[in-house]
Structure 1
């Protein structure tokens, strides 16, 4: 299992990760240090970091190649300067255009006995089918197995039968956005080392071992996308993403109150909240605005502002709930964790608790880094989680997602090869 696992990769040299979002692009450079401060023994020395406004990126996808390339170049260069080293390859995380599906594949057993290669055949069949539709199966994980009338098998290897049925969970993305992201890095003379979906990278950062084993849903709230990852028994069982996030709240505030986008963003940041109480009755917000309008301040009703914010955030949470109804058993998850930049919206956790009828907490990356760190906010969860993931001991295994790496349970499902995707 990843959660609670001790040890590090023999490769203790610095590694760089890149979180490509619609609002910001973040680069972290770090190296591992042994520590007893965390239950998994992982501490990182932050060598360099940079976070810049994303240009040429929309919905986590490249929308303007030249602008995105320049934005990525500048972000990496700033982190390189701080770390006093040159980055040659980066591991990338993003929530661009992903969707999760539960699938079933049936594989004949000519020898009459199920083996690891038969599981690999099922996984490869899903990937080939995705490729024929212009999609990439980023992560494909066997969940349960059936042989004949016997269902709910956790490890079919060595069991007799005529055919093996494999229930899988796959995360798909269109080939084009990921190819564009890789091309953008190549134009910056940076090698694409591997890819991990943003939601899972965030989960690696903010979940503890007991939560991951008992069952939890991590919701990563970004600017243009909101993704979720469900874990149970220490492994990912479902993941999905919707194209709506904190930027929609900014757009709504701008439309309703006739503000510029920068004014609406300031209103959301300083006064936006989804919950209101009696003390807000008659409350007035004085917001500074552009002098070009002939005014310097505008007065807004606090309850009206909260209502606009709440409507949009409720719509996002309802959209998530509709997605995870596809996944068996997620309604009984014992914990919901909010992270990502938009999770800092005042009242987001109580609203989620009311809608999902489950305990909710807001989480930021824990004590990954030795000493004071500027990258401890929820907006750095995905980048921090991926950087920690790179330096754990199982990073030495092949993560090219070839058929040879397919194994059930403790092998296939928990290996880093299942979580990171490399080829196009």
Structure 2
């Protein structure tokens, strides 16, 4: 039964490592059965920089998730992020052998598979290939060509690449914890699953996921992804500014940001101060809330301007009827939404992963900082559904009953977007590594 399936998501973030274990209830809502968290000390700007520290943190999070859920975790859906992520649009085409037959799922899959063979920058691998629109016998703007008559099938594809070493390092960490990667998913795509509605994707919307080390952007229009980008600034850069501007310790700067920080200095109390304990044998330091707000506002404005620049660069200025959805831990910074609206003129809301969640062992997962983690679990169920749908279609079309398990696995993993992620992930992660390396 569908509600008996169990999926685990692993979010390897700059601030935290998070593991969620969930199942779908009879109403299609995600129930969180287990939650595991650990402080992330081996990740910088979304990329693993210390193997041993990351392995230790993943182990802690997995152990906690297993304990809270009572489920042994063996397979995980993992998010990938970082400034090394690149996207581009490519055109592909195939000529079908039959003039009379209908375009089939196999034809669409063959066209998509061909895109994984395009040449990318040295040291990069393709992680996602997403069709934008199809053309059948020079008839453009077709969303679903299956069942149509035609000889020439073409499509524009949004192709996303990641640094090969970044992929290998994720695999190395996950495998050394004794886990298997089911699929590797770009984090803003996962976040979009948990906070965006289909109506917003149709109308045009930009999701802006503000993490600790990076800000990830994904733009949707007409129900499909159109543009992705990664900005190498996140919540940590604001903390660093406070640390330097107020001459305080790192942990004190983080507390100031979370408890008293605001992105609009206008309206901040003029004479209110916060007393920070001094170093050994030194007097406490008083921090002006007004000055703190000026520091935060300056950096927040820069981040907003960079995000808006990506929206304009993608050609979506004045085309986002759904506005902008802010998510991630940074979205909770006081008055960030108002600042974004003020500087861009766009409608902005905070994205909470509430709509797709049922009951949970821990209600804190409804916080925007868990949008990616929730999305990774939802992506796992989407992959299962697409795989089973493909299996049903091919069986109905006369797929041979006797297939080896390897052949069956390859056939089942074709099908849809997330099913293709699964297939490509397993191809990317097939390389072996030298376990004798020292770190």
| Residue of structure 2 in register with 1:273 after alignment | 262
Choose from 377, 390, 394 the match for 2:385: 394
Could you tell me how far 1:396 is from its partner in structure 2?
3.5
Unaligned runs of 5+ in 1: 1-8, 36-40
Could you tell me how far 1:328 is from its partner in structure 2?
3.6
Superposition RMSD in Å: 3.0
Choose from 285, 296, 310 the match for 1:323: 310
Choose from 106, 118, 122 the match for 1:129: 118
| Residue of structure 1 in register with 2:297 after alignment | 310
| Residue of structure 1 in register with 2:365 after alignment | 375
1:193-342 to 2 correspondence within 5 Å? 193-278=182-267, 280=269, 282-292=270-280, 294-296=282-284, 298-329=285-316, 331-334=318-321, 335-342=323-330
Asked if 2 retains the 8 angstrom alpha-carbon contact of 1:171 and 1:240, the reply is: no
The verdict on how the C-alpha distance between 1:43 and 1:17 changes in structure 2, with shifts beyond 3 A counting, is closer
| Residue of structure 2 in register with 1:384 after alignment | 374
Could you tell me how far 1:362 is from its partner in structure 2?
0.8
Q: Does 1:422 find its partner at 2:414?
A: no
Matched residues in 2 for 1:66 and 1:279: separation? 43
Could you tell me how far 1:383 is from its partner in structure 2?
0.8
Could you tell me how far 1:14 is from its partner in structure 2?
2.4
The verdict on how the C-alpha distance between 1:239 and 1:290 changes in structure 2, with shifts beyond 3 A counting, is same
Asked if 2 retains the 8 angstrom alpha-carbon contact of 1:19 and 1:27, the reply is: yes
| Residue of structure 2 in register with 1:360 after alignment | 348
What secondary structure sits across from 1:375 in the alignment?
helix
Matched residues in 1 for 2:349 and 2:96: separation? 50
Choose from 130, 149, 172 the match for 2:161: 172
The verdict on how the C-alpha distance between 1:125 and 1:315 changes in structure 2, with shifts beyond 3 A counting, is farther
| Residue of structure 2 in register with 1:26 after alignment | 18
Q: Does 1:13 find its partner at 2:5?
A: yes
Q: Does 1:85 find its partner at 2:75?
A: no
Q: Across the two proteins, how many residue pairs are aligned to each other?
A: 401
Asked if 1 retains the 8 angstrom alpha-carbon contact of 2:90 and 2:159, the reply is: no
| Residue of structure 2 in register with 1:4 after alignment | none
Matched residues in 2 for 1:306 and 1:348: separation? 11
Q: Does 1:345 find its partner at 2:347?
A: no
The verdict on how the C-alpha distance between 1:66 and 1:301 changes in structure 2, with shifts beyond 3 A counting, is same
What secondary structure sits across from 1:332 in the alignment?
coil
* CA-to-aligned-CA distance 1:10-53 (integer Å, 9 cap, x gap): 47232221111000000111222113xxxxx3241x22212221
The verdict on how the C-alpha distance between 1:66 and 1:276 changes in structure 2, with shifts beyond 3 A counting, is same
The verdict on how the C-alpha distance between 1:190 and 1:309 changes in structure 2, with shifts beyond 3 A counting, is same
Could you tell me how far 1:146 is from its partner in structure 2?
4.5
Asked if 2 retains the 8 angstrom alpha-carbon contact of 1:401 and 1:417, the reply is: no
Could you tell me how far 1:417 is from its partner in structure 2?
2.1
Asked if 2 retains the 8 angstrom alpha-carbon contact of 1:226 and 1:242, the reply is: yes
Give me the TM-score of the superposition, normalised by structure 2.
0.82
Task: Please say which of residues 113-122 and 327-336 is displaced more in the overlay.
Answer: 113-122
Asked if 2 retains the 8 angstrom alpha-carbon contact of 1:365 and 1:378, the reply is: yes
1:40-189 to 2 correspondence within 5 Å? 41-44=28-31, 46-107=32-93, 109=95, 111=97, 115=103, 120=109, 122-130=111-119, 133-146=122-135, 150-155=139-144, 158=148, 165-189=154-178
What secondary structure sits across from 1:390 in the alignment?
helix
What secondary structure sits across from 1:178 in the alignment?
helix
Matched residues in 1 for 2:185 and 2:4: separation? 20
Could you tell me how far 1:248 is from its partner in structure 2?
0.3
* CA-to-aligned-CA distance 1:157-185 (integer Å, 9 cap, x gap): 65657x65532211211111011101111
What secondary structure sits across from 2:118 in the alignment?
helix
The verdict on how the C-alpha distance between 1:93 and 1:108 changes in structure 2, with shifts beyond 3 A counting, is closer
Asked if 2 retains the 8 angstrom alpha-carbon contact of 1:120 and 1:403, the reply is: no
The verdict on how the C-alpha distance between 1:130 and 1:56 changes in structure 2, with shifts beyond 3 A counting, is farther
Matched residues in 2 for 1:133 and 1:205: separation? 33
Asked if 2 retains the 8 angstrom alpha-carbon contact of 1:143 and 1:168, the reply is: yes
Could you tell me how far 1:350 is from its partner in structure 2?
0.7
Unaligned runs of 5+ in 2: 392-407, 429-439
